[in-house]
Homo-oligomer: A and B are copies of this chain.
């Protein structure tokens, strides 16, 4: 847990500090870049686009709210607001879950699918231009391994929230 007595904080080494700074810059710039790209070309922020992608890959283009939130790594609350907005735009529709009366399914509408298919090529281009065109195949593998490791260390088993935190 958090043992930080008044002793020695154990700072980052120069290499670590450099890596951390680079990481922060890269992720900030990239997220910003993709957010603008999608806002301009598809009229929605990156996270919302990610939700449509998840839905498009799901069995009948629908997913339980909680499952969608887990896949996208966001809170249920955030998802609720997001789906409300996407519903207002007509890309997504809510649907009562037959098996559990508490549940809701988020369903990707036909129009949502069209918007997604229209935006996807440009988005992939942007991602490719920012990352995969600039990295060697070995680096892509390295990146995947590093991210897997970091993500695994932050997953569910947290404490008092169902799956996040």
Provide the bound-state CA to CA distance between A31 and B27, in Å. Answer: 10
Q: Are B124 and A25 interface neighbours, CB within 8 A?
A: no
Provide the bound-state CA to CA distance between A27 and B149, in Å. Answer: 12
Q: Are A5 and B117 interface neighbours, CB within 8 A?
A: yes
Q: Is A84 an interface residue (CB 8 A)?
A: no
| Chain B residues whose C-beta falls within 8 Å of the C-beta of A155 in the assembled complex | 29
Q: Are B142 and A139 interface neighbours, CB within 8 A?
A: yes
Q: Is A153 an interface residue (CB 8 A)?
A: yes
Residue of B nearest to A139 (CB): B146
| Chain B residues whose C-beta falls within 8 Å of the C-beta of A28 in the assembled complex | 72-74
Q: Which of B15, B36, B121 contacts A4 (CB 8 A)?
A: B121
Pairs A-B, 10 closest by C-beta atoms: A9-B121, A22-B147, A26-B147, A19-B144, A26-B151, A29-B154, A26-B150, A28-B73, A142-B142, A25-B151
A5-B118, A142-B143 known, 10 other contacts, Cβ within 8 Å: A2-B122, A6-B121, A9-B124, A12-B124, A12-B132, A22-B151, A26-B146, A26-B147, A36-B165, A139-B146
